[in-house]
């Protein structure tokens, strides 16, 4: 489930039939580019995974393996609902869930040097934050690297970043990933994401500047 499909491409190269689910159309585009470069095909469903049983009922009960990895669970406020979808996807009696997860605060905001924990980041300018009210906006940010994070007033902010890149098989040239200019906020008590307007005035330092 989720992200840019690099694990899915690796599994497809080993002969698996792979389906990917994510809310971000940009991730689908990137995953399909990687799959094409690797010479494999993926099925990529762009939807809220909790709506997957209604969006792709043909996937139910047929999956030998469901993989959740690298920062998935913190997007959900109801883990029971997520696990119900996972169970519905798996082959009854022999399907397996592989879960490897962490909270982004542990890797993006906190560093451990010589046994001392340190909070290291930049706080966004509050005056520059404007609510983004689009009916088609994604409900949570997609997986990314190189972004800036900060905690301010019990809210986690995340700005920018990219979804990685890849090297074509057998070639030396590097294909860059997609850059993001989004500013997201997650209230730590409710764990709900909001997409905020990302443009900042040139004379005001924003996250990562």
Tell the residue number behind the tokens 């004379």, with chain if given.
203
Strand ranges inside 101-187, DSSP E:
110-113, 116-119, 148-152, 155-159, 166-167, 174-175, 183-187
Which pLDDT value is given to residue 119?
52
> 173 and 151 in one domain?
yes
Q: Strand 174-175 vs strand 183-187: parallel, antiparallel, or unpaired? A: unpaired
Which pLDDT value is given to residue 65?
94
> 90 and 13 in one domain?
yes
Which pLDDT value is given to residue 90?
96
Q: Is the dihedral of CA 47, 52, 55, 58 positive or negative?
A: positive
Measured between alpha carbons, how far is 42 from 124 in angstroms, rounded to an integer? Answer: 38
Which pLDDT value is given to residue 95?
95
Give the number of C-alpha atoms closer than 13 A to the C-alpha of residue 163, restricted to the C-beta side.
Answer: 23
Which pLDDT value is given to residue 132?
32
Which pLDDT value is given to residue 191?
79
Which pLDDT value is given to residue 186?
84
Mean pLDDT by 10 residues, the chain (209 residues): 82 94 87 93 92 93 90 80 95 92 61 57 34 47 72 81 54 57 82 70 40
Which pLDDT value is given to residue 12?
94
> 126 and 94 in one domain?
no
Which pLDDT value is given to residue 103?
63
Domain count for the chain: 2
Which pLDDT value is given to residue 83?
93
- The residue among 100, 120, 149 that closes a domain is 100
- Let me know if 155 is exposed, middle or buried by CB neighbors in 10 A (0-12, 13-18, 19+): middle
> 96 and 108 in one domain?
no
In which domain, by residue range, is 74 found? 6-100
- Is-above-0.85 flag for pTM? no
**Residue 35's CATH number:** 3.40.50.150
């Amino acid at each position: 489930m989720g992200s840019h499909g690099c694990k899915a491409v690796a599994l497809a190269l080993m002969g698996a039939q792979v389906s990917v689910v994510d809310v971000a159309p940009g991730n689908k585009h990137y995953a399909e580019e990687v799959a094409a470069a690797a010479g494999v095909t993926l099925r990529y469903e762009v939807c809220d995974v909790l709506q997957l049983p209604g969006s792709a009922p043909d996937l139910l009960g047929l999956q030998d393996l469901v993989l959740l990895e690298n920062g998935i669970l913190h997007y959900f406020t109801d883990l029971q609902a997520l696990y119900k979808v996972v169970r519905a996807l798996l082959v009854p009696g022999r399907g397996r869930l592989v879960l490897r997860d962490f909270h982004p605060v542990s890797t993006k905001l906190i560093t451990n040097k010589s046994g001392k924990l340190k909070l290291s980041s930049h706080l966004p300018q509050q005056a520059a934050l404007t609510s983004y009210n689009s009916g088609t906006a994604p409900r949570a940010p997609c997986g990314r690297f190189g972004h800036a994070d900060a905690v301010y007033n019990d809210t986690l902010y995340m700005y920018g970043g990219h979804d990685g890149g890849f090297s074509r098989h057998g070639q030396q040239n590097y294909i860059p990933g997609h850059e993001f200019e989004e500013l997201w906020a997650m209230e730590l008590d409710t764990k709900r994401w909001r997409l905020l307007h990302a443009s900042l005035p040139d004379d005001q330092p924003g996250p990562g500047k």
